[in-house]
Amino acid sequence: MKLTTLLLALAISLAANAQIYSNEFLSIGAGSRAQAMGNSAVASSTGIYSTYWNPAGLTAVDSETGLLAGAMHAEQFAGVTKYDYLGLSLPIGNSGRRIAFSLIRQGTDDIPNTLNLYNPDGSIDYGNITSFSAADYAGLISYAQPTKLFDGKLSVGGNLKVVRRIIGDFSTAWGVGIDLGTRYENGPLMIGVMLRDATSTYNAWKTDLTDDEKNVLIATGNSLPDASGTEVTNPSLLPGIRYRFGIGNNIGIAPELTAWLTFDGQRNTLISSDPVSMDLNMGVEADYKDMIFLRFGADQFQRYTPLGDSEESLLVRPAIGLGVKYKRINLDYAFSNPGDGEDLYAHVFSLQFGLAKPVASATN
């Protein structure tokens, strides 16, 4: 019981004060296609999930497509945590410009709250155990438009991002930020750059504990979190490149590489330094007639030293996935295992579908 109380106090304290790894739920990714490719999708993401990876990719949607919608659901850590995405996009005129709205949620529900487990006389009353949820939300309003550059197409886009984070009735936060993206496509070559949290994203936290809850935390050796505070998410830069090689008339192989540069301090990544750290996201997609897809990826390179071993090892998260495309419908699946534990796995399903623009009626 003390462990649950300690974890609750730690979660509230970290939420109110953390700077490194701030808003880390927004680093998980969106869409099964990207997840299967090691979250390397800044250059190639061209559908509704572009709102997360690079909003400039919205301009690559078929010009005959009107409403575009998508949804993703992921079960993480044996279903303990749920991660969901929902988005829709609409064209603006016939110029290739699009606007989109999307919502991301990561949450762990039914967490036992044992702060009131003990009665004033010291007796245990399991009926006093309640539950709460720890959930993070992000709402994105996205806009993208194309321009011409040489023989290819240059697109630019951006997100207005609103963040809402909730830890039961104990602590809540609001945050606002802006993402900027650009994408260049020329035949089989795609290049994308995403500047996330371009203006930095500021989360204003408010913690509200009752006197009884404060007394329990103090009695169990925990310090009380600040009643209010600001959490800052520094900008991060994601450049990516993709190139598709054709094999005959029906098969294509497209490797993609994305570098993820953070500027909030030293992280346990492939290249680790202070204040800049860099991780690599890499993947490859094989397609048959642009209808059936097989994907492999790797990301989250971390150095660690196993217990009882003096030599440092490199840990990486592999991923694999499948996809099917039929007209304006895409159905994708990804599987990844971020560690050696049998419960550290994730199944990710996503769907995208588009509706053709209505045909204007002929007039006499």
Tens-of-pLDDT digits for all 364 residues of the chain?
A: 443 443 344 344 444 444 567 788 888 889 999 999 999 999 999 999 999 999 999 999 988 899 999 999 988 766 678 899 999 999 998 888 999 999 999 988 777 777 666 666 667 766 667 777 789 999 999 999 998 776 678 999 999 999 999 887 778 899 999 999 999 999 899 999 999 999 889 888 888 777 666 666 666 666 666 667 788 888 999 999 999 999 988 999 999 999 999 888 888 787 888 888 889 999 999 999 999 999 999 988 877 776 767 677 777 888 999 999 998 999 999 998 654 444 567 789 999 999 988 765 555 4
Q: Which CATH class is domain 2-356?
A: mainly beta
Q: What CA–CA distance (Å, rounded) separates 328 from 322? A: 17
pTM across the whole model:
0.82
DSSP string, 16-65: HH--TTTTGGGGS-SSHHHHHTTT--TTT--STTHHHH-GGGGGGS-TTE
Q: How far apart are CA 331 and CA 353, in angstroms?
A: 9
Q: Where is 217: in which H helix or E strand?
A: helix 211-219
Predicted local confidence at residue 170, as pLDDT:
78
Q: Which pLDDT score, from 0 to 100, does residue 269 have?
A: 80
**Cβ-contact 68, 51 below 8 angstroms:** no
Residue 220 confidence (pLDDT): 67
Nearest-angstrom CA–CA distance, 217 and 235: 35
* Token couple for 108: 């762990």
CA 120 vs CA 69, 124, 125: distances in Å: 54, 9, 10
Would you give the DSSP letter of residue 216? H
Rounded to whole angstroms, the Cα distance separating 244 from 131 reads 50
